[in-house]
Structure formats: structure tokens, C-alpha cells
Amino acid sequence: MVGCTTYSSDANLTDDDFRQVSRVIYEHCGINLHDGKKELVRARLAKRMRVTKRRSISDYLSYALRDHSGKEFSLLVDAISTNLTSFFREQKHFDFLCDEFLPSLITKKRASGDKVVRAWSAGCSSGEEPYSLAITLLSELKNAPEFQVKILATDISTTVLDRARTGIYPEKRVAPVPAELKHRYLIREKSDGEKMFRVAKILRECIYFGQLNLMQEWPIKVPLDFIFCRNVMIYFDKPTQERLVNRYYDILQPGGVLFTGHSESLTGIKHRFRYVQPTIYAKV
């Protein structure tokens, strides 16, 4: 047919292709793509190849690197990144905040005159984690209205950040939220007949969503009270994990806490944190 071009994309991922993709991703954002990720990389890059009409993975990678706007490379990273999250995931972390950390933090802040609780959700994905933090903090501080809550929520993926900013979730996604808190902080809506929930304005006002590569400079000028970096470090090798953990230490207040994912441990990493319990570490 005259005037039409047919693209036959070859999504075959050679060892050389995989090494090149792995090197570029590692250098850019520290994600360590071991051999077990090869099929995932092939499948996800195949989708980008179809969209951009590239004939091979090497052709697509060259195209992404030549895009001076950085948009296609960002979409490449989005494709490689796995974003799995839920409201109140790993409940024991929220229990620790309510039962142990926040009561002592509030006492200390009242004594110092600091009336802001500052937290960071590093690797916030589609927003369930920072919204869960906002719900927790606002609920625990309801009898301390003089306090402000400020949560920085960042991710390397612009795609999931766009979803997070909308703050709209289907009913099954908000199922872990206790009924009382759901009634207080989530607004029921309908979209194409499906039950949806929109997060309340009071939650949105607590959170700033921003795109951030953890390997680059951080826009944080004031020490934080605690950091959630959960199921993020599993994508990094030990040297990268060590650098990241020690940077977290430096930006926490004395007594501040780092929460990691259930499959993550600081064992084998040189750091200055005090072990509190599995996946919870405090700045000395």
C-alpha cells in the first residue's frame, strides 16, 4: 500500500543488548538489573518499541538516549520499574508510628517549639503509601491541632506520580483502610459505574509529590523526622544501598527513623543507624 510503512519490531533481547540496557539504567538511577530480570526487560521494552515504532531493542535504546528532552528515557525507566503498593502495606510500620514513635516525637517537639512533623515517602509509587501516612499522622494528631504535617512523596516514575496526584482509587484498592478512617478521609465517587474513592483535600494539602532520582541531588533542606523507603533498595546493589542509607541518616533528625521493606535488611552494609526491630532503624 502506497504511503504506509510497516514496522516489524524485533523484541529479541541479546546478551549485548541486555548488558547495555543494564549499564545505562544502573548509571542513571542505580537499579541493578541482574540476569533474572532479562525476560521482564524484554517484555517491557517490547511495548515501548511498538509505541515508538523501533525495529530492535538496540534501535529503541539509541532512540531513547538521543531524545534530548529526556521524556523517552523517563518512559524507559517507567517501563523497567516495578510499582507494587497498597494502602497500609506492612501494617506493623504504622502501628510502630502510632504506638511508639509519634507520642515521644510530639513530646519532644512541644518542648522544642517545633510544630511540624516532616516525613518522606521515597519511592511512593501511585500514592497509597504517602496517603496512608497522611491518614495516620492526621488521626494521631487530631488532639494536637497546633501541629502541621508535611510529607514529601517522590518517585522516579512520572507515570505513577501522575496517578498519585489524582488521588482516585477503585474500591478494592482502598479495602485495607479501616472503615472509620475511610469515612473520614476518602470520598466515594462513581466513574463509569465503578465505585471509586477520592482522597480528601486535607490529605492532599499534607503531601508534595515530585519526581526524583535517588541517585541525584535531593531537594531537602530541613531535617526529617522519619523516612519510608520500602521495597526500593531491593533494586540496588550493596554499594548503592550503603550510599543511600547513609544519605538518609544525614538528613534525619537525631532520633529519626528509617523504615525499610520486609525483604530488605541493613545487614552487610556499613551504617550508623541503631537497630530497633526488623526493618526499623533509628538515628543515634
Active-site pick, 17, 78, 155, 225: 155
* 23 included as an active-site residue: no
The beta strands (E) that lie in the chain are given as 116-122, 148-155, 168-170, 186-191, 194-199, 207-211, 224-229, 252-260, 274-277, 280-282
Of the candidates 161, 171, 81, 96, the one whose C-alpha atom is nearest the C-alpha of residue 129 is: 161
Active-site pick, 44, 54, 89, 230: 44
Of the candidates 155, 134, 172, 118, the one whose C-alpha atom is nearest the C-alpha of residue 229 is: 155
* 16 included as an active-site residue: no
What cell was used for 160? 505513577
- Alpha-carbon span 106 to 125, nearest angstrom: 28
State the virtual CA torsion across 30, 32, 33, 35 in degrees, nearest 10.
Answer: 160
Reduced to 3 states (helix: H, G, I; strand: E, B; else coil), residue 51 is: helix
Question: So which residues are the catalytic ones?
Answer: 44, 155
